[in-house]
Structure 1
Amino acid sequence: MKKRLSLIVLMLLLTGCNSDFSFSEISIGNANDAVQEFIEYAEVKNGNYLYLDGEKNMYVFINGIYVTQGNDAVYFSDFNVSAQQDTLNVFINQEYDSDYSNTKLKYQVLYKIKTVEKYDTINLFINGKPVSFDEIFGNEQLIVYEM
């Protein structure tokens, strides 16, 4: 518990007064048509997806809705973003539950990140560990740092 709290405090300090970006969770139904089309393509399998809508808006779609029988369901409990020079870091907490029918848990999430700056690199961290996006759609100029 102390580890998680420390991580949250560190992320808040890193993003504290940074006005170069903002982020929020949005409903899939409230996304624009292009983003909804991207989600329709991506939601057929679990994974981590990035969609770039122009040069300064991006969407992170995390899908864990499909559960293999006998395994715990994956859900997402926290999302945060920090920036360091030309790198944007995306942090997600992923947790597990054996109650597949718990409607309060987020098995699919969509976040919109609005940026002022243009970032050359986007890193994804799940539970503090670096991972890659499964697929990236949109702006071809993006460089993704793969771990």
Structure 2
Amino acid sequence: MPFVTKIETRAYARATEVSDRVAASIMFIFPERLRQKVSISMSDAEGQAGDAIVVISATLEGQEDCEGVLNYMLGQMDSLSLRALERSLDIRLDDKCILFLRIDKQAAFLGMMKLADDSDVISARFHFKQYPRCKREEVRLMIENRLRAAGG
């Protein structure tokens, strides 16, 4: 049975945004009880037009905690996002058993969990493991079961 071992998230705070608010948006995708375990970092970067950007990354490791985050996120998503995730699951799950989600950054700041349909996103990568080797099809079936349980 596959399981989540690591979650990596990243978002960009553009020059017009407050980086602490973007960090708060990222932290929203983690249940409050796990937020103290999340490793967060900020690094300065430069955009294509030379504007200042802060790259904010957050990582959580550990099977039990990461499984809890996946269940929490699916439980918080609206039905439209759950259906969209179910329909697009094949393109979001790669051959290395990594699930890619793009969460709406502004919605997260406002306390809503939904998939993004624009470029202002929190990128989330869920790393799945299975022994002896991770099988993409089994991960897909497990996620589909969790989507159904979440109401998708």
TM superposition score normalised by structure 1:
0.31
TM superposition score normalised by structure 2:
0.30
Name which structure has the greater RCO, CA cutoff 8 Å, separation 6+: 2
Query: More helix per residue: 1 or 2?
Result: 2
